[in-house]
């Protein structure tokens, strides 16, 4: 009898190890642990508690709802909301003592109308063109400075504790774009200092920049994918001694012996060129196994690789186990435990972030 259709096993010792490694890389800079999107699929509350026990004292989330959930789980450290909070979510900023990112004069005024103190960090757009006060070059610093200064002077309830930007290309170690962005951010911060506008802690380095641009660490760094043992830079995790935290497993639920010429899965796109044994596995695209991996990826059963055959279905997929002496109930490793999520990302034409974040809530988590 199967206990789980599919299971994500989260190694908390590896997570603690990674946080300590990142803290050492950061030197004297504070580490902001990014646990948005349910800690990239790993479980935000569980991961945040592991990090807090290791000395982590600041976290970043995408929404006020994510921040409130962390507080309700017992997290005591600072929590920075990176995204825009809706009118309904704004009530939670004060209730749960969250820090809200402010990316425009209009949003500053919206929060200013709340009538109660709101802790904030100012977001500066230095080239990502996503969120932030516009400052794509040093020529923009004066206008950005005036916009931020006026917003804070008008809205006295906004308590600014930090200022930050986000790099667009820091996964390239010699990237000139990152240096231009850092130059614009530094010029803005310098003008604020000259004008007596204290904005608090400065941070701009994401996971890639923590590794590639140590001179830009400033007061704090934001560690995301590195925490979970993966990296936007090929080979970085090995060099830094980081360890993957998630292993995704499913089970063999049926073995079918098919003949040469038989087809497998939807569209009859796979046609067997010989007699073979096909294992049906209890994981599909509704669990987060990307359909783009159909016919491309391997799974590992009893220590041997088995090629996926046919199209991945909503709840199941199939693999050729003709050369594996396996049984119904055997585990199949989708990624982790020596089976690289980076490789799946490459085969699917995506990034490792998506592989992790795609693992759905209906996949049970087990923490070891």
Q: Which positions are annotated as active-site residues?
A: 36, 266
Q: Name residues whose C-beta falls within 8 Å of residue 198's C-beta, 6 or more positions apart in sequence.
A: 160, 192
**Region for residue 229 given its phi and psi (left: phi exceeds 0; alpha: psi -120 to 50; beta: otherwise):** left
CA geometry: angle at 61 spanning 55 and 65, to 5°? 120
CA-derived radius of gyration, the chain: 24
The answer to whether the beta carbons of residues 179 and 127 sit under 8 Å apart is: no
Q: In whole angstroms, what is the distance from residue 240 CA to residue 258 CA?
A: 46
Q: Are 226 and 25 in contact (CB under 8 A)?
A: no
Element (H, E) at 218: none
DSSP element (H, E) containing 352: helix 352-357
Provide the β-strand partners of residue 102. Answer: 122
Q: How would you class 361 by CB atoms within 10 Å of its CB: exposed for 0-12, middle for 13-18, buried for 19 or more?
A: exposed
Q: Are 48 and 39 in contact (CB under 8 A)?
A: yes
CA distance 278 to 132: 52
Query: What is 6-52 written as a DSSP string?
Result: EEEEE-HHHHHHHHHHHHHHHTTSEEEEE-HHHHHTT-HHHHHHHHH
Distance CA 139, CA 137 (A): 5
Token pair 């923490």 is at which residue? 367
């Amino acid at each position: 009898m199967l206990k789980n259709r599919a299971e994500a096993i989260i190694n908390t010792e590896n997570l603690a190890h990674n946080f300590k490694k990142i803290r050492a890389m950061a030197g004297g800079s504070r580490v902001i642990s990014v646990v948005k999107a349910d800690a990239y699929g790993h479980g935000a509350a569980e991961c945040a508690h592991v990090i807090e026990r290791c000395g982590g004292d600041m976290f970043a989330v995408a929404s006020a709802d994510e921040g409130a959930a962390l507080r309700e789980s017992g997290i005591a450290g600072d929590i920075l909301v990176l995204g825009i909070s809706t009118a309904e979510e704004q009530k939670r900023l004060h209730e749960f003592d969250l820090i809200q990112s402010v990316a425009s004069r209009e949003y500053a005024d919206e929060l200013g109308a709340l009538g109660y103190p709101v802790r904030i960090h100012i977001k500066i757009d230095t080239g990502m063109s996503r969120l932030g006060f516009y400052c794509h070059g040093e020529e923009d610093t004066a206008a950005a400075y005036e916009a931020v200064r006026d917003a804070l002077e008008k809205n006295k309830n906004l308590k600014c504790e930090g200022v930050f930007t986000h790099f667009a290309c820091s996964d390239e170690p010699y990237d000139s774009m990152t240096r231009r962005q850092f130059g614009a951010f530094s010029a803005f911060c310098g003008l604020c200092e000259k004008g007596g506008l204290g904005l608090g802690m400065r941070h701009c380095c994401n996971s890639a920049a923590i590794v590639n641009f140590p001179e830009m660490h400033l007061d704090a760094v934001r560690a995301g994918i590195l925490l979970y043992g993966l990296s936007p830079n090929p080979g970085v995790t090995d060099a830094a001694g980081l360890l993957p935290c998630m292993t995704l497993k499913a089970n063999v639920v049926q073995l079918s012996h098919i003949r040469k010429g038989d087809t497998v899965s939807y569209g009859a796109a796979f046609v067997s060129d010989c007699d073979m044994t096909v294992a049906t596995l209890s994981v599909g695209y509704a669990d987060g196994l990307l359909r783009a991996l159909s016919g491309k990826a391997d799974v590992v059963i009893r220590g041997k690789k088995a090629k996926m055959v046919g199209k991945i279905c909503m709840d199941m997929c199939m693999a050729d186990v003709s050369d594996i002496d396996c049984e119904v109930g055997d585990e199949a490793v989708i990624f982790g435990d020596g089976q690289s999520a980076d490789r799946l990302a490459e085969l699917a034409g995506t990034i490792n972030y998506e592989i992790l974040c795609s693992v759905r809530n209906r996949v049970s988590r087990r923490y070891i």
